[in-house]
A and B are shown apart, each in its own frame.
Chain A
Amino acid sequence: MYVNRTDKPSPKDEITFSLPQIVKFKLENGLQVLSIRKNKLPIIRLNLVVNAGSKFDPENKKGLANLFAMAVDEGAGNYSALELSEEFNFLGSNFGVNANHDRIHLSLQSLTENFDRSLELFGMIIMQPQFNEDDFLRQQRKILTHLLQLKDEPDEIADNIFSFNVMGKSNYYAFPTNGYENDIKNISVEDMINHYRKFFAPDNSTLIVVGNLEKNELAEKLNSVFSKWRTKSVTHKLSLEIKNNQRQIFLADKKDSVQSEIRMGHLSSPRNQKEYFKKVLLNTILGGPFTSRINLNLREKKGYTYGASSSFGYFEKSGFFYVSTSVGIENTSNAVKEILYELENIRLGITEQELEFAKSYLIRQFPSNFETYSQVASNLTSLTIFSLPDNYFDTYIENVKSVTLEDIKQTAIENIFPDKATIVIVGDKEKLIPQLRKEALDDFILADYAGNPILP
């Protein structure tokens, strides 16, 4: 049989995908619940999102929220840290907690058959954490050792230097959530208890649920566990003022490294609804998927790297743009120049085909964003953190479709600033300095691993 292989097969019809229904309700104690019913497997996924992230870390106690997240499940109710962990393990349930700048996320994944008991334990951690001195001190020593280990990680160092300088040094988004060694030593178990009293309350949290439970049954189960949770949070006003920088180049020395980590970028607008989709499409062309311009140039054309990408990242109240890659150290300045070229070039506009590709990529990928229980939960989490409208997912595809070629050009001009980019390079300075000197990149500042200039 003759097979025509020369023409790319194309489907005749489009698929239909019906979005799962978002159910929104409040528990008796006022806790907001966002839920999507999913029946594929007997799994239930829960996320409690508490507005208690490291943006609230006080001066000289940077790292508090993260240490809180490490300590909150070290014993709760009548269970010691070990007993609590054993209970979850026996149920085959996964409990996790982590902090970022904006929120503390407590998550639970369990089989439906073990959900009731898992939920009880989950509630215990939220309502009756023990914060024993011994447990706290152990976790404090653990993070101190971890900070020491992070000095080995060039990618972590590059990220920290970049964020510190782009997010405005003294600003609450500028500090790493992990905090600083000296600050962590200032934190006590009382700080944990205070953080808990200030922030852990139904009026300061949202509960996300994904699983095979219908609304009434779910509400009943949740009420029976959380109805006793009646605390009120203390309001906290934070002020944020970040200015865009001029071009600055930071070089941090990592002796004997064979690659350099490169970060380039600047401040960008927060996740504003209107501009958001234009920025997503722009980045899809510039540096998002494998076939975007930056990766094709640096990897598939030049062979400088295993991968290079760009993205618009978002905090609740701010945003940034950055390019990230690691390259063989001898190609560092070449790679920086190529990235700068791509950032300049995208400001000149894109082609119709590129826009069509980007739209097709985002629209057709949409159903896959709802595949796993944790994906669905994290979609719901974004709705709450960024205060997105209830119909966000219903209008997603329309919003992508409506972006024009002219929009993208404007968006690039208004959102990509190669001449104002902060450039961070982490690598062996002996190999890097001669290279940077040769190029127009010799106005670099030597920086320490936190991003502060090293004075000569």
Chain B
Amino acid sequence: MDLLNINYEKYKLQNGLEVILYQDSSLPVVAANIWYKVGSANEKRGKTGIAHLFEHMMFQGSVNVPKEKHFKYIQEAGGSLNGSTSLDRTNYFEKVPSNFLELILWLESDRMGFFIPALSQEKLSNQIDVVKNERLERYDNQPYGLAWEILISNLYPNDHPYSWSTIGSIEDITSFTLEDVSSFFEKYYSPSNASLVIAGDFDKAQAKDLAAKYFNDIPGKNHIANNNSGEGKLTENKFIVHKDNVQLERIYLAWHTAKAYSADDSSLEILADVLTGSKNARLYKDIVFENEIAQDITAYQFSGKLAGSFIIIATAKPGVKLGEVKEKIFAELKNIAVNGAAEKELRRSKNGIKSSFIYSMQNIDSLADQLNSYNFYLGEPSSFNFDLSRYENVQSENIKSVVEKYLTKPYVELHVVPQSTE
């Protein structure tokens, strides 16, 4: 599709920083988006959560930007900004009126090159408190909030970097010192471990000048390649029961599958949609719509650079046993392993995916992030059409084969049940 053919320019500065420019002048706004090739997968047991805490510290100012001013300057310009940490990468992004492009490049370059001298124990202690509260809010005080950590820590071996959550354990978060923060910066943060997307309404020559002006004098470093811990394997099923402050029982199932963008990745995504992505999806229709033994069910393929997993989560209706829900799930998987999916089901999924690609292009900042994502995983920023074809090419045979290949293997089964349940 022509619309999905993004016309961009990509080049590298001397220091290794990749720059990707994409022009779109439909609104007078411009977005910058930086991906650093570091995430929680670069951490070790005992130091979990440092990548994410570090992301917080990047908003605490740098040599020329006092604490609180990073936010202040961008919001004063009418801009929006944030950052996020995942398994494989950390991103930082902002969107401002197009005449403020220089401001955001100045800010991003200052924290990329001149971060360490601005660090202080006071800032670190404050952000440790903030991140502890983030953890409490998003995990510990959420119903079912600890399920994800229980699931992945059982799915992967203890030393596998996908076996812990990006937020990290409360003990680890509390233990970080200024030394931990500086050495993390030294190890992973530099232009040669990053890529910068500028997208939106700007003059190309001017943007190139500004990128050169603010980033050229930041030296690149020699970064050690990402660790490669393999895909993880279960030799037998694991069964865990966890009590929580919840009203309803919930079942989680997790299998090892395929890495992001590997051959089976898109088939597993379509499989998830065929199972639970719509009212007519097989499991949704069966157990939520028709038989009402579950309040909700969702399945998804969760994949990163090192490994992938397939997850199914269902909440049982009051009084329903999780075993009954589980039985239905496995019966349907078995059915698909034998009979595959109907052409109609595949078409439904593919049409939905195609539309969602176009809907996703409305925001210049999310488009910028997608260009960085494709660049990171595939080395080619304009991969929308390629990506779409990955889904278009999925056939019934592929669906059958991924069920057979991955979902008939050992899995982790977690039941989260109310405290009062004996």
Contacts and interface: CB of A to CB of B under 8 A. Distances in A.
B335 interface: no
A291 B71 contact: yes
A371 B129 contact: no
A403 B75 CA distance: 19
B274 to A, nearest CB: 11
Given A3-B213, A368-B27, A372-B362, A93 B133 contact: no
Contacts of A255: 245
B395 interface: no
B241 interface: no
Contacts of B143: 149, 152-153
Contacts of B214: 3, 5
B28 A145 contact: no
Given A6-B64, A43-B359, A303-B129, A145 B141 contact: no
A303 B354 contact: no
A9 B99 contact: no
Contacts of B358: 41-43, 111
A326 B248 contact: no
Interface stretch (A14-22, A219-227, A309-317, A383-391): A14-22
Contacts, number: 204
Given A8-B106, A43-B358, A290-B75, A148 B28 contact: no
Contacts of B130: 299-300, 303, 305-306
A167 to B, nearest CB: 26
A302 B80 CA distance: 24
Contacts of B232: none
A255 B295 CA distance: 24
Interface stretch (B172-180, B322-330, B344-352, B401-409): B344-352
A362 interface: yes
A113 to B, nearest CB: 10
B275 to A, nearest CB: 14
Contacts of B109: 5
Contacts of A15: 28, 97-99
Contacts of B347: 90
Given A145-B317, A306-B137, A371-B29, A41 B3 contact: yes
Residue of A257, A296, A300 with most chain B CB atoms under a 10 A cut-off: A300
Contacts of B231: none
A81 B362 CA distance: 30
Contacts of B133: 259, 303-306, 326-328
Given A42-B3, A111-B358, A10 B80 contact: no
Interface string B250-270: 000000000000000000000
Interface stretch (B44-52, B148-156, B278-286, B305-313): B278-286
A148 B213 contact: no
Given A42-B3, A371-B27, A149 B103 contact: no
A25 interface: no
Interface residues of A, number: 77
B184 interface: no
Contacts of B351: 89-92
Given A42-B358, A89-B352, A11 B102 contact: yes
B213 A373 contact: no
Contacts of B134: 306
Contact of B247 (A81, A152, A302): A152
B354 A92 contact: yes
A259 B132 CA distance: 11
Contact of B248 (A145, A291, A357, A360): A145
Contact of A303 (B3, B126, B362): B126
A180 interface: no
A299 B56 CA distance: 12
A325 to B, nearest CB: 10
B289 interface: yes
A146 B279 contact: no
Nearest to A88: B278
Nearest to B353: A92
B318 A145 contact: yes
B141 A81 contact: no
Interface in A115-162: 138, 141-142, 145-146, 148-149, 151-154
Given A41-B361, A43-B362, A357-B76, A148 B248 contact: yes
A301 interface: yes
Given A82-B280, A259-B141, A326-B137, A92 B356 contact: yes
Query: Which of A3, A41, A89 counts the most chain B CB atoms within 10 A?
Result: A89
A393 interface: no
A42 B355 CA distance: 10
B348 A371 contact: no
Given A91-B351, A149-B295, A299-B130, A362 B136 contact: no
A259 B136 contact: yes
Nearest to A368: B29
Nearest to A301: B126
B78 A256 contact: no
A174 B78 CA distance: 35
A240 interface: no
27 contacts: A1-B217, A5-B63, A15-B97, A16-B28, A40-B26, A42-B3, A86-B280, A89-B278, A89-B348, A91-B351, A92-B354, A111-B358, A141-B292, A257-B245, A258-B136, A289-B75, A290-B75, A296-B68, A300-B126, A300-B130, A306-B133, A306-B134, A328-B136, A357-B75, A364-B100, A368-B95, A371-B362
Q: What are the 7 tightest A-B residue pairs by CB atom distance, in nearest-first order?
A: A364-B78, A303-B129, A92-B355, A365-B78, A152-B143, A11-B99, A85-B279
Interface of B: 3, 26-29, 63-64, 67-68, 71-73, 75-80, 95-100, 102-103, 106, 109-110, 114, 125-134, 136-138, 140-141, 143, 213-214, 216-217, 245-248, 278-280, 285, 289, 292, 295, 315, 317-318, 347-348, 351-352, 354-356, 358-359, 361-364
